[in-house]
Amino acid sequence: MLTNLRIALVLVLALALTGCGSLYVAQAAKGQLAILAARKPIARVIADPRADSEVRRRLATVREARAFAVRELSLPDNRSYSTYADLHREFVVWSVVATPEFSVQPKEWCFPIVGCVAYRGYFKEKSADGFATRLRDAGYDVTVGGVPAYSTLGKFNDPILNTMLVYGDDELASIMFHELSHQVVYIANDSSFNEAFAVAVEQEGLARWLEAHGRKADLEKYVQRRARQSEGIHIVSRYRDELAKLYAQDLPAGEMRARKADVFARLLAQVRDRDARLGIKSGLAKDLEGPPNNARLASLATYYDCVPGFERLLAGLDRDLPRFFDAVRELAKLPRDERRARLCLSETAEP
């Protein structure tokens, strides 16, 4: 059990991480404290014969992947992901992303330490939905999505959560690689840079994980899946650029909405055509269904627009991760616009 002094210290850190706004701070601090209180050493869970056998097996894989992350990926060697916490819910937080009705740029919220981010997280789905409703009433396009894991940037020893165990062993390893990457490089006020860097490390890490285990067929399938994903992201990027040009025009709101709906309809049709050609059912098509919503596109942009640039940088360094990390740290020193010019997709990027 946490002592009162330790609770106070944790609360101070939680407040620093989440910024101002008393209600938001309170729920964030309470949620983070609940996670810390629920942690148990993975070694203890594995050794406990009363623990669920599947959970014990999965945690053994986690321990192997954690050692792999340090040994083969040069990710931080610390106590992160050495513990397990069962939160007895489906997701650890629910993320809210919003854009103005006629903009593809996400609304940002700014906090101490982490800077400005393009999403806001809630430990209760009801709270996220309530905040999303207020944003919609104010005229924003909004999405709410459950999140299985997040990083405290090394401020706390993040545990493996039960919310992460719904994924397969490979996906679980890749989530851990992703979150550990945030401890290597993180820039305040640039969500796209941070998330795309973590995606690039996650993808490289999973490819190496599969290769190290002699799973050539699974590696080939993974490479094919990444290629399909990249094609889908390029399609979305082109239509998002089209929307940006549309929103820059001085048009009546009614006409703007009609043209916006047309762009989204054509985007969904092209994604469905791609899925039919490839013989797949992608989550991308499902995400794009429903009323036109810029926030759906903003979420994809945050995570994937800059990934090709990071992949080119890694390939140019012979896939040497320590050198790659050093190069990314140097990029992090540049002004945001210059970083984006070097790394991210241009408006005319083609697949």
Q: The pTM is what?
A: 0.85
The model's pLDDT over 107-158, given as tens digits with 9 standing for 90+, comes to: 988 876 667 778 888 999 999 999 999 999 999 999 999 999 888 888 888 9
Question: Can you give the pLDDT at residue 20?
Answer: 46
What would the mean pLDDT of 32-49 be, rounded to a whole number?
Answer: 95
Burial bucket for residue 88 (CB in 10 Å: 0-12, 13-18, 19+): exposed
Is pLDDT larger for residue 14 or for residue 110?
110
Phi, psi of 317 (to 5 degrees): -105, 25
Domain boundaries, the chain: 4-202, 216-343
pLDDT at 58 over 90: yes
Q: Which two tokens stand for residue 142?
A: 């909004």
The model's pLDDT over 3-13, given as tens digits with 9 standing for 90+, comes to: 333 333 333 34
Which of 186, 187, 163, 188 has the alpha carbon at shortest distance from 84?
163
Cβ neighbours for 324, distance < 8 A, ≥ 6 positions apart: 313, 314, 317
d(CA 191, CA 167) in angstroms, rounded, equals: 24
Contact 267, 287 (CB under 8 A): no
SS3 55: helix
What would the mean pLDDT of 243-265 be, rounded to a whole number?
Answer: 97
Q: Which two tokens stand for residue 161?
A: 């959560």
d(CA 242, CA 134) in angstroms, rounded, equals: 28
CA dihedral 233, 236, 241, 246 (to 10 degrees): -170
Cβ neighbours for 17, distance < 8 A, ≥ 6 positions apart: 28, 32, 111, 112, 113, 114, 152, 155
The model's pLDDT over 222-231, given as tens digits with 9 standing for 90+, comes to: 999 999 988 9
pLDDT at 1 over 50: no
The number of beta carbons lying within 10 Å of the beta carbon of residue 290 is 10
Contact 98, 55 (CB under 8 A): no
Which of 215, 232, 260 has the alpha carbon at shortest distance from 104?
260
Phi, psi of 41 (to 5 degrees): -55, 135
Residue with tokens 């703007």: 256
pLDDT at 87 over 80: yes
